[in-house]
Structure 1
Amino acid sequence: MSLLRLALCVCGVYSMFLLWAIAQERLSVPFQSIDGKTSDKFKSPLFMGTCQSALSCISALVYIILRRKSTATFSQTLGLHPTSETPHQTEHNEKHAQNGNAISHANGNGNAHIAQNGSSHKPKVDTRFSTSALLLRYLQCSVFITSAAPFGFAALGYISYPAMVLGKSCKLVPVMIMNVLLYRRKFAPYKYLVVLMVTLGITIFMGFGNDSKKGKHSSNTTATVPYANLIGITYLLINLALDGATNSTQDEIFARHKVAGQQMMFWINLFCTVLTSILSVLPLSYIPVIHPSTDGQTELMGAVTFIRNHPSIITPLAQFALTGALGQLFIFETLQHFGSLTLVTITLTRKLFTMLLSVVVYNHKLTPGQWLGAAVVFAGISVEAMVKRKDVHAKRVIQEKEKPKIKSI
């Protein structure tokens, strides 16, 4: 059963996000008008975000309701009130508490406080803050995500999708930086080696070859923009910095509050939907990247008008929203049942296949130097995965040695 679940998770992550990547790249290039005379680019990134976050919110809600415990209230099901320990915490604490060992709890700075617990004393596990503090953290993540998405979409107007995928593979760098700056966390020395390899690889990739938009769907306007690579990389760096802030805040939520991944998925996407919906109906003036429309319309009206005049966008837009929503569910399912190590391995290979698929589908041309840079990046991420595998194996060996001691008590 476990092997079947893993196979389903791998197939789900691969299929959903490979289709999502194709749809995302298609949305970044011009669409032909209904009369066939002109072609225009879709300039409503907030509307795209609303479509995906709304479907993600609904799918997460359906998931957690179907998986809810019969004794849990609706607010407990949504993670607004504390329930019993998560299965992972229960198993971990029971093993240590029965043996009279110390149990560590992470504080807000990522450090561990050690609480000595005897076999007759139940460990104190509830480290939640108030519900309002938790919701504010969710809102903070939503603001970061809402701000990051338009920059990632705008970057595709200036750099190729393979370069975009490779850059997104470097998320470890901003995540580490934001964890250090925002929450004063420290990392193992090997992580800095990984950061160095990833940074070197992306530098090599960008240094060899012209990454301006190419392929059968490319736009002639973006290809002739001066310093296109520099603009695209700048947008991508802003996107990665905001992604790093998002991930570090999510780590903080998991450390301070007992919530499930699907509960976090529901609330963050709910706030994202509210934020992007409000921004979409406001009569905003021209804002670079965030609101690129210059016709004075609200983003919602601009998106509806574009869809009416360019109906060919409906299929990739629906594919983008639906596969993104379902893909998130497979990611959280993998994380819940198989841990972060398995998830890292799956997402690493998925990004590699995404880049290769983009090269094949949209006829991107990569130079040997760019392939070398990509290899260095994925080698760096592989180092991260191998070290994590060794750490997990060492912990399992220790747990196996502790089992006879626990049985003898």
Structure 2
Amino acid sequence: MTVLRLASCVIGVYAMFLLWAIAQERLSVPFDTIDGTSSDKFKSALFLGICQSTLSSISALLYIFFRRKSGESIYTLLGLVPRPSPKSSSKTNGSSNTKVYKNGHSQAQAPKEEKDSKQGGDSSWRSQLLLRYLQCSVFITCAAPFGFAALSYITYPAMVLGKSCKLVPVMLMNIVLYRRRFSPHKYLVVAMVTVGITVFMGLGSEKPSKSTHKSTGQGELTPYANAIGIGYLLINLALDGAVNSTQDEVFSRYKVTGQQMMFWINLFCTLLSICLAALPLPYIPVLHPTAGGQSEFMAALSFIRSHPSVVLPLAQFSLTGALGQLFIFETLQHFGSLTLVTITLTRKMFTMLLSVAVYNHKLTPGQWLGTAIVFAGISVEAFVKRKDVHIKKVTQEKEKAKIKSL
């Protein structure tokens, strides 16, 4: 059963995110109009975010209710009730489940002040948790447009390689936001990743102009296009790092499940994106590319009506992204982060190879060298993590043996 579940998780992550990557790259190039006289690029990153986050929140909610235990309240299912501490000061009275407090009162006889204090504490805890979820959603909503805009200036393989290096911004944001420190090997990994990306970007010859700027009226890319694309990608990675570091903080402090976090973050992302897309904001580079005071939501719907060929990759992007998240959280829950790192590392390698094969990208020998350096650095991280996990298991087994001998 364990082998079957692992195989289904691996196949699910690979299938969903490889299809998701193909759809994402397709959405970055022009679409023909109904009459075929011109082609235009789909620019609404907010609309993309609405589609994917809506399906992701629905998928997470269905998963939570499918896996629920009998008798669980809606607050417990959605992770809005603190989990009981294993070192609780309360105790049970015989075989009864009624708690007995230090002052001798049972749960039914507990003073009203103590009950009110507990409810107030739960309310404060819940507010802080939802605020953290909202913080993650704001970062994600702001990060998506920069990642989508970067594809107009750099090739998709470069984008995949950059997104493979989340360790760098995650480490930086953990240091800046939460004052965490890391072991020396992680700084070696960061250095290898940085060198690899620099080699890849510096030794490339292919320009995205042949695809992303074709028939869009934007002309050829400026000499600074590569720097602009890298700048957008760095902003995207920095915001992603803030998301991941905040998620680590939520997992460690609030003890929620991955599916609960997936539901709330995607729900807030949907609400934020709808609000931003519905407002008739002025033209804002990257964040609100629709000009003339028109809402981005209406501009996106107008684009879909005049360019119906965008519907299929848009649906593929949203659906595969939502299902892929479920497979990721299922892997994390049953097999841990080490297995997930291994799966996602190899998946990104196959994503790059698939992009090269499907869209005929040309990588120079120097770019392949840069790619090898990056994945070698990430492999060092996976190897050290595997070694640490093995040492921890050996230590736990020795402690159990000592306890049994006593």
| Fold agreement, TM-score > 0.5 | yes
Q: Is structure 2 residue 330 aligned with structure 1 residue 333?
A: yes
Query: Structure 1 residues 320-329 or 214-223, which shifts more?
Result: 214-223
Q: d(CA) in 1 for partners of 2:207 and 2:333?
A: 39
Q: d(CA) in 1 for partners of 2:357 and 2:152?
A: 19
When residues 273 and 304 of structure 1 are mapped into structure 2, their CA distance, relative to the original with a 3 A threshold, is same
Alignment correspondent of 1:202: 197
Higher Cα Rg, which structure: 2
Is the 8 Å Cα contact of residues 157 and 222 (structure 1) preserved in structure 2?
no
Q: What's the secondary structure of 2:255's corresponding residue?
A: coil
The amino acid that maps onto 1:334 is: T
Matches for 1:202-221 after TM superposition, within 5 Å: 202-213=197-208, 219=214, 221=218
Q: d(CA) in 1 for partners of 2:376 and 2:157?
A: 17
Corresponding residue to 1:158 among 153, 157, 171: 153
When residues 234 and 216 of structure 1 are mapped into structure 2, their CA distance, relative to the original with a 3 A threshold, is closer
Alignment correspondent of 1:123: none
Alignment correspondent of 1:115: none
Corresponding residue to 2:187 among 165, 172, 192: 192
Alignment correspondent of 2:171: 176
Q: Is structure 2 residue 311 aligned with structure 1 residue 314?
A: yes
Q: Is structure 2 residue 62 aligned with structure 1 residue 67?
A: no
When residues 12 and 214 of structure 1 are mapped into structure 2, their CA distance, relative to the original with a 3 A threshold, is farther
Is the 8 Å Cα contact of residues 215 and 364 (structure 1) preserved in structure 2?
no
Deviation of 1:215 (Å): 5.9
Q: d(CA) in 2 for partners of 1:215 and 1:26?
A: 14
Is the 8 Å Cα contact of residues 283 and 298 (structure 1) preserved in structure 2?
yes
Q: d(CA) in 2 for partners of 1:216 and 1:285?
A: 28
The amino acid that maps onto 2:161 is: L
Q: Is structure 2 residue 268 aligned with structure 1 residue 268?
A: no
Q: What's the secondary structure of 1:252's corresponding residue?
A: helix
Q: d(CA) in 1 for partners of 2:206 and 2:149?
A: 14
Query: Structure 1 residues 128-137 or 376-385, which shifts more?
Result: 128-137
Q: d(CA) in 2 for partners of 1:39 and 1:180?
A: 45
Corresponding residue to 2:283 among 286, 297, 302: 286
Corresponding residue to 1:130 among 119, 125, 130: 125
Q: Percent identity?
A: 72
Corresponding residue to 1:241 among 238, 245, 248: 238
Deviation of 1:211 (Å): 4.4
Alignment correspondent of 1:370: 367
Q: d(CA) in 1 for partners of 2:45 and 2:205?
A: 25
Deviation of 1:403 (Å): 2.4
Residue-pair matches, total: 370
Deviation of 1:225 (Å): 3.0
Deviation readout 1:135-191 (Å, 9 max, x if unpaired): 000000000000000000000001000000000111111100000000000000000
Deviation of 1:218 (Å): 5.8
Matches for 1:98-109 after TM superposition, within 5 Å: none
Q: d(CA) in 2 for partners of 1:50 and 1:228?
A: 28
Is the 8 Å Cα contact of residues 142 and 269 (structure 1) preserved in structure 2?
yes
Alignment correspondent of 1:118: none
The amino acid that maps onto 1:183 is: Y
Q: d(CA) in 2 for partners of 1:193 and 1:222?
A: 41
Alignment correspondent of 1:359: 356
Query: Structure 1 residues 193-202 or 218-227, which shifts more?
Result: 218-227
Alignment correspondent of 1:140: 135
Is the 8 Å Cα contact of residues 50 and 273 (structure 1) preserved in structure 2?
yes
When residues 346 and 222 of structure 1 are mapped into structure 2, their CA distance, relative to the original with a 3 A threshold, is farther
Alignment correspondent of 1:231: 228
When residues 222 and 83 of structure 1 are mapped into structure 2, their CA distance, relative to the original with a 3 A threshold, is farther
Q: What's the secondary structure of 1:83's corresponding residue?
A: coil
Q: What's the secondary structure of 1:28's corresponding residue?
A: coil
Deviation of 1:231 (Å): 0.6
When residues 45 and 217 of structure 1 are mapped into structure 2, their CA distance, relative to the original with a 3 A threshold, is closer
Alignment correspondent of 1:2: 2
Q: Is structure 2 residue 81 aligned with structure 1 residue 81?
A: yes
The amino acid that maps onto 2:143 is: A
Q: d(CA) in 2 for partners of 1:169 and 1:5?
A: 25
Q: d(CA) in 1 for partners of 2:403 and 2:270?
A: 49
TM-score scaled to structure 1, two decimals? Answer: 0.88
Q: Which runs of 5+ in 1 are unaligned?
A: 94-126
Q: What's the secondary structure of 2:164's corresponding residue?
A: helix
